[in-house]
Structures are given as C-alpha cells and as structure tokens.
Amino acid sequence: MSKNKGYVHLVGIGPGDAGGISMGALQAIQNAEEVWGSDLGPPNRERHFLRPYLQGKKVVNLSGYYEQQDLPREYFYSAIPRRAIHLARQGRKITFLLSGNPMVWVDLTNTLKQQAAEGNVDLRITPSMSFLDVIWTNLPFGLTGPLQVRATLIEDPDITPYVDCVVGQIGDTGTTSGQGDFDRFVTNVKRLYPLHHEVFVTGSDPIHAEISTAKTTVAELSDTLHNFTAGYYVVVLPHLPGPGADA
C-alpha cells in the first residue's frame, strides 16, 4: 500500500504501569495523530502515565463499549476492528493502544491480522511486554521443567508427550467466567486429572500489574476461577498424570 493510504498501528501499552511499556511503543504513541484505546478512563480505570503522550492528539476512548452489559464482548471485539479497517481504507491513520502485547492477545487483534493477511488493511504492530511476562514471574519456583502452552481448551483425552508442567488455559476472567468455554475447560480438566491434583492459578491486574496467585485442587478449580481477582490469568497443572490416572 502507498504511503498516502491509511493504516492501523497496533501498539502494546504493557500489562500495567509504565515499567511494562517498550520504548518503541512510546515512540509510536508520540508520533501518532489519532489514538484509539480502551484503558484510557472509566470503567477500565486510567493509565495515568500515558497522559503526557496523548496531549494534542485526537483520542477515541473505547471504554464505553465495556459498559454495554446487554451486548456480548464478541460483538464489539468484531465491530471495533471492522470500523478501524473501514476508516483506514478511507485514509485514516489509526494508532490503536492495546493492553499487554498485541502479538499474543485476543480476538480483536486476530481479526486485524487476518484482514491484513488478505490485503484488506495496512497493519503495523509495535509490541510491548505481555501479561504473560508478568504472570510467569510469579509461578512457584518449585515447578521445574518446560512450560508447554496448549490450546485454550484441553480437548485431547490422550495428551502426549508428558511434561513436568502444563499451562492448561490462558484467559480473561472478564470474558470466560461462567461461559461455555470456561465450563468446558474445567470439565475437561476434571476428566483428565484426579480431583485432588494440585493446581496453581496466577494472574495479573490489567492496570497496576499487581499479581495474584491461588493454590487449589482440580475439585475446587471452578470456584477458584469464578472468584479470582486478577483480570488475566493462567491455569498451571504440574506433573501431568500418565495414562490410567483416576479422573
């Protein structure tokens, strides 16, 4: 695409405070004319360290979408990128601020990446630190061996090869709690692991990068996740049991 065409520039603003944002991301914000974002004010609270970088720019605060309780998040996760693509094709140059690192996060970014691959939008990405970087640092040091990130849901009843520690799910408590995917994940964990099997849940608050950790069992996993305070989390199931373990 030519330089005169519009684009969407995804910029990661890190998992919380100013310590998690990259220099490249700050430079991208400084160079932007139009900035979109959802962590710019209520109800998501505000990242105050961004204020100096937004002065004099056109700012589109998307936080209002999160107040629409009657609409599923999947709706505006689809609507927002469609609107951005439409405006970019009309010549708008949009710098889109995203929590964490846009290289590893959610449906919204996946839609933009797919459309870019099909040639429908000029998409640029400047990464930053992800929520996972923060979460990994709080995993119990006694968990040795490789961490294997599997699909969001454990579907395969014969998970091989066996590793010392398996990351069973990466999620957002604001979107998965109480929904079908969440419940199916817990059901599959109970099918694959003994109910007394030890489970760690660790997560990060999306604004202040505060870390929460809970130690529980497979039997109590559902209640633990429903009551978990961090916005983004991982479920860690150490020492995957071999074939024939009691479910």
- The pLDDT, as a whole number, for residue 25 is 95
Asked if 10 contacts 124 with a C-beta cutoff of 8 angstroms, the reply is: yes
Residues 6+ apart with CB under 8 A from 63: 38, 39, 40, 41, 42, 43, 44
Does residue 244 lie within any of the structural domains? no
Residues in CB range of 89: below 8 A, 6 or more apart: 5, 6, 120, 121
pLDDT at 180: 60
Measured CA distances, 160 to 95, 121, 144, 154, 239 (Å): 42, 39, 18, 12, 12
Residue 23 burial (CB count, 10 A): 9
In tens digits, what is the pLDDT along the chain, a chain of 247 residues? 445 589 999 999 988 888 889 999 999 999 999 999 987 766 666 788 898 999 999 999 888 776 777 777 778 888 899 999 999 999 999 999 998 888 876 678 888 999 999 999 999 999 998 887 877 777 766 665 555 544 334 445 454 444 456 666 666 665 544 456 677 778 878 887 889 988 888 888 766 667 888 889 999 988 888 888 777 777 877 765 554 444 4
Choosing from 76, 94, 129, the residue where a domain stops is 129
Q: Which residue is listed with tokens 């809970």?
A: 214
Report the relative pairing of strands 93-98 and 165-172 from DSSP bridges.
Answer: unpaired
Q: Tell me, yes or no, whether 151 and 171 share the same domain.
A: yes
Which residues fall within 8 angstroms of residue 187, CB to CB, at 6 or more apart?
none
Work out how many domains the chain is built from and give that number: 2
Residue after which a domain boundary falls, among 129, 151, 181: 129
Regarding whether 232 and 176 lie in a shared domain, the answer is yes
- Looking at residue 154, its pLDDT comes to 45
Q: Is the pTM of this model over 0.95?
A: no
Residues 14 and 110 occupy one common structural domain: yes
The DSSP call for residue 62 is G
125 and 19 assigned to the same domain: yes
Quote the domain boundaries for residue 113: 7-129
- Given a contact cutoff of 8 angstroms between Cβ atoms, the answer to whether 189 and 159 are in contact is no
47's enclosing H/E stretch is none
- The CATH number covering residue 19 comes to 3.40.1010.10
**Cα 5 to Cα 79, 88, 114, 123, distances in angstroms:** 22, 7, 19, 11
Domain boundary among 129, 147, 182: 129
